Amino acid sequence: MHRESDPKTEKLLRLAEAIAEGTDVDWDTVSDDDAETQDTVSRLKTLETLIHAHRDLPDTAPVTQKTSPTSDNLLQWGPLLIKKKIGQGLMGEVYEAQDAEAGKTVSLLLRRPDWPLGETESEWFLKEMKSLSLIDHPSLISIEGYGLHENRAGIWVNPITSPSVEEGLVVRGGFTVGDCIHFAECILGVLIEMHQVGLLHRDLSAPKIFWTDGMEPQFFDVGSVLDRPPASLTNPSHPSVSPTSDLEMLSHLLVHLRKSVRGRITELTPCLESRYQELQSGNSEATREDWVNRMAELL
Residue 268 falls inside a structural domain: yes
Residue 70 falls inside a structural domain: no
Report pLDDT digits (tens) over 131-147.
Answer: 888 888 888 888 888 88
CB 298 within 8 A of CB 267: yes
Q: What integer pLDDT is reported at residue 106 of this predicted model?
A: 92
pLDDT exceeds cutoff 80 at 278: yes
Are 170 and 266 in a shared domain? Answer: yes
Are 206 and 118 in a shared domain? Answer: no
Report pLDDT digits (tens) over 158-205.
Answer: 887 788 888 888 887 778 899 999 999 999 998 998 888 888 887 788
Q: Per-residue confidence at 63, pLDDT binned at 50, 70, 90?
A: very low
Query: Domain ends where: 157, 174, 205?
Result: 157
What is the amino acid identity at position 247?
L
CB 153 within 8 A of CB 170: no
Please choose, from the candidates 182, 260, 190, the residue with its C-alpha nearest in 3D space to the C-alpha of residue 215: 182
Residue 59 falls inside a structural domain: no
Q: Across all residues in the chain, what is the average pLDDT?
A: 74
pTM of the entire structure? 0.65
CB 83 within 8 A of CB 128: no
DSSP 152: E
Number of structural domains (the chain) is 2
Which of the pair, 30 or 268, is modelled with greater confidence? Answer: 268
Alpha-carbon gap, residue 289 to 299, rounded angstroms: 15
Query: Domain ends where: 101, 129, 157?
Result: 157
Q: What integer pLDDT is reported at residue 143 of this predicted model?
A: 84
Residue 188 falls inside a structural domain: yes
Q: Per-residue confidence at 49, pLDDT binned at 50, 70, 90?
A: low
Are 89 and 193 in a shared domain? Answer: no
Q: Per-residue confidence at 39, pLDDT binned at 50, 70, 90?
A: low
CATH number of the domain that residue 181 is part of: 1.10.510.10
Which residue range forms the structural domain that includes residue 110?
Answer: 76-157
Q: What integer pLDDT is reported at residue 231 of this predicted model?
A: 42
Lowest mean pLDDT among 85-89, 124-128, 258-262, 279-283: 258-262
Give the Cβ contact number of residue 294 at 10 Å. Answer: 17
Are 259 and 177 in a shared domain? Answer: yes
Cα 216–144–188 angle (5° rounding)? Answer: 35
pLDDT exceeds cutoff 80 at 268: yes
Residue 117 falls inside a structural domain: yes
Are 133 and 220 in a shared domain? Answer: no
Helix, strand, or coil (residue 288):
helix
Are 267 and 173 in a shared domain? Answer: yes
Are 105 and 228 in a shared domain? Answer: no
Alpha-carbon gap, residue 28 to 32, rounded angstroms: 10
